[in-house]
Structure 1
């Protein structure tokens, strides 16, 4: 599997993706907002975009659909319940559906509500596992729930699905928010030395050459995975004195998401 991460350079800091079969050059464009860059990259590489996939319905992920489809004749895939939210869906996806790209690439749809209630993540069936996480999971962060989502559903997605992924799973998120997210981790867990070290390493990175984290790293530096950390809980109690003596992971997640909304 070839993965081309395309940095849009826009105000929303979007990443777009081309997932390509190395054997025959067939490609799937994921959330191709910057249709010019996606089409141009495919043309330069000799790849043929035959499918477009939207992780969810927000305009900064669907905005390039029409142009890519018009140029390539690609089919459009998205969550089965997004048919009233995304125009022109050809294939409605449900949890467990397998998407084939070319001859060699298989991706499994995960139903991952929270950021919105019609959100798809993709996990690869490859020797090197990968997750295309849209706006559910970011490098060192979690999606917000402002526009059609729900934090309790996002918590369930984290603990029931993302937590089960192998440590070596590469993460391909929908946006580059890693610096702000690491700073939030350190605000919530000042003694997290791994987060501090990573922030120092990437603070000047070019997003067009962004480092890839793994789920294993996320467990160490992403505060939304660190729900049992004594430091996280102690700092949270300073903000929420009525926090239970022994808060559940759900309690901690929801309070962290609340804080991140205005941080």
Structure 2
């Protein structure tokens, strides 16, 4: 499996992806907002874009669909519940469905509500484990729930699915928010040496050559994975004194998401 991460350099800091089968040259485009770059990369590599996957229905993820499909004939795939919001969707998918690319790639669809209620992530089942996480999980952060989502559903997605993925799963998110997310972790957990070390390494990183993280990294550097950290809990109690001194993980997650909304 060949993964090409495409930095759009737009104000929203989007990443687009091409996932190509080395045996056939067939490629899948994930959230191809910058369709021109996607076409240019595919042409340069000698790949044929045959499918488009949208992780969810927001405009900065589906905005390139029409032009890319017109140029390539690629079929559009997304969550089955987004069919009324994504034009010309050819296939609706849900939890456990598989998307194949060429002869060597199989991606499993995870139904991951929270950022929106019709969001999917793609988990590679061939080659090194990889998760194309859209706006559900970012490097060192999580998605917001402002436009059609729900924080309790986002917590459930994390608790029941993402936290349980193998530690060596590499995360390919929909946006580059790594540095700011690390700063939020350190705001909530100033004694997190792993987050501080990564921030020192990446403070001036080039998104064109983005630093990836793994699920294992996230358990160390992402405050939304660190719901039982004594420091995280004690600092939340300063903001929310009505909390129990031994809160459930769900309450910690929801309070962190509330703080992140205005941080």
Using structure 1 for the length normalisation, give the TM-score: 0.99
Q: Which residue of 1 aligns with 2:173?
A: 173
Q: CA deviation at 1:164?
A: 1.1
Matches within 5 A, 1:37-52: 37-52=37-52
Work out the CA distance in 2 between the residues paired with 1:126 and 1:228: 33
The aligned residue for residue 77 of structure 1 is 77
Report the counterpart of residue 218 of structure 2 in structure 1: 218
- Spell out the pairing of 1:2-151 with structure 2 (5 A cutoff): 2-151=2-151
For structure 2, the residue ranges without an aligned partner over 5 or more in a row are none
Aligned to 2:96, what secondary structure does the other structure show?
coil
State the 1:195 CA deviation: 0.1
Q: Distance in 1 between matches of 2:33 and 2:25?
A: 21
What is the CA distance between 1:244 and its match in structure 2?
Answer: 1.0
Residue 238 of structure 2 is matched in structure 1 by 238
CA distance in 2 between partners of 1:34 and 1:161 (Å): 30
CA–CA distance in 1 between the matches of 2:243 and 2:190?
A: 20
State the distance in 1 between where 2:85 and 2:127 align: 34
Structure 1: runs of 5+ lacking an equivalent? none
* Separation in 2, partners of 1:177, 1:72: 31
- The one-character-per-residue Cα deviations of 1:108-128 (angstroms, maximum 9, x if unpaired) are 000000000000000000231
Q: Is 1:208 paired with 2:208?
A: yes
The answer to whether the aligner puts 1:249 opposite 2:249 as a matched pair is: yes
Q: Distance in 2 between matches of 1:126 and 1:195?
A: 30
Whole-angstrom CA distance in 1 between matches of 2:176 and 2:99:
26
> Do structure 1's residue 164 and structure 2's residue 171 form an aligned pair?
no
Task: Return the alpha-carbon distance in structure 1 between the equivalents of residues 58 and 198 of structure 2.
Answer: 30
State the TM-score, normalizing by the size of structure 2.
0.99
Cα drift, residue 245 of structure 1: 2.1
SS in 2 for 1:109: strand
- The alignment covers a number of residue pairs equal to 263
Instruction: State the shift of 1:212 in Å.
Output: 1.1
Question: How far apart, CA to CA, are the structure 2 residues paired with 1:76 and 1:127?
Answer: 24
Deviation at 1:10, TM superposition (A): 0.1
State the alpha-carbon separation in 2 of the partners of residues 211 and 262 from structure 1: 26
Distance 1:155 1:63 in 2: 28
Superposed, which structure 2 residues align to 1:184-203 within 5 Å?
A: 184-203=184-203
SS in 2 for 1:3: strand
